[in-house]
Amino acid sequence: MQKALYPENLSYRMSFSYKNNYTEQLMNILDPTIRFSQRADRYSLYRPEYPEAIVTFLEQAIGLKKDFNIADIGSGTGIFSGLLLGAGYSVNAVEPNDEMRAAAEDTLSTYQGFRSIDGTAEQTTLADHSIDLITVAQAFHWFRPEETRKEFERILKPSGHVLLIWNILQSDTPFLKAYTELKEEYSEKIVHPHRADLERIKDLFHPSPVITHNFRKTQQLDARGLKGHLLSFSTVPLAGDDRYQEMTEKLDGLFEQYEDQGLINMEYETKLYLIPSTRV
């Protein structure tokens, strides 16, 4: 039986000497600065965007203003940063993966308020008490929780907030159930204890309150898009792996079975967790 791996138990950036090849392979599997390097293009093209209503939610919930200093931590290819920039806000996009960060820079560099930063959740390089709003979209489960919490406390203003966001793919249609089973069949077994888990998030940020809010979102993909979506996950095999052909053939079969006029629907629940910094 394959042992489940817990990424928060390992460094977000590895700086020590490896004892043997197995340890090195394990570090490469879990280190996000390595594992997403071959996925950046697919991630940018085929992962879903976030509901525009999130901006309205923030404006109403915390009084988000255009002069707020925002840090998008683990910003990846800039999907959520782009939503904020498009709404007229300025964003410090903090991302350690070179390829992911470069993809964001290619897409977002025309925005005057975009600042790209090579940093991690545990070491953002941002100034003390300089940030009004920290956002983390689809990335918090890769962070080392306690060190991240301390870093957030360091960079947040006393009146600031943290917003954790996940787009959670649903499995409530025959296609989505089959797609989820296919992905799980070929994925590495990695456990993310803090991924959209309200109780764990409450425990981590205790005694600060955690405000939750959910949105629904639909993404439509053609056959190429569905394949790109699957291959954007760092846990599934890429071309050259012995399992790749079998996996993609099964994926093609799923698309042919469930497509409607050349498209399939990917249904998401977007989960928000808003935490004030007054007691972070």
Q: What is the mean pLDDT of residues 105-133?
A: 97
Q: In what order do the strands lie in the sheet with 114-117?
A: 114-117, 91-94, 70-73, 131-137, 156-169, 264-276, 211-221
| Strand ranges in 84-187 using DSSP code E only, listed in sequence order | 91-94, 114-117, 131-137, 156-169
The DSSP 8-state label assigned to residue 213 in this structure reads E
Report pLDDT for 191: 60
> What percentage of the chain reaches a pLDDT higher than 70?
83
Residue 103 domain boundaries: 7-170+189-220+267-279
Residue in this structure with the two tokens 């498009």, named with its chain if needed = 86
Query: Which residue is associated with the tokens 């093209």?
Result: 45
Region 160-173: mean pLDDT is 96
Q: 180 in a domain, yes or no?
A: no
Number of domains, the chain = 1
Indicate whether 103 belongs to any domain: yes
The reply to whether 256 falls in a domain is no
pLDDT (tens digit, 9 = 90+) per residue, 225-278?
Answer: 999 999 988 888 888 989 999 999 999 999 999 999 999 999 999 999 999 985
pLDDT of 40 reads 72
- Which residue's entry shows tokens 């940018």? 44
Residue 257 lies in a domain: no
Pairing of strands 70-73, 131-137: parallel
Is the predicted pLDDT of residue 80 greater than 70, yes or no? yes
Contact partners, residue 62, CB within 8 Å, separation at least 6: 133, 161, 274
Whether residue 241 is contained in a domain is answered as: no
Q: What is the CATH number of the domain that holds 201?
A: 3.40.50.150
The answer to whether residue 13 sits within a structural domain is: yes
Residue 253 domain flag: no
Q: What is the mean pLDDT of residues 132-158?
A: 95
pLDDT tens digits for 16-59? 232 334 334 444 455 666 665 566 778 888 899 999 999 999 99
For residues 36 and 235, give the distance between their C-alpha atoms in angstroms, rounded to a whole number: 9
71 in any annotated domain = yes
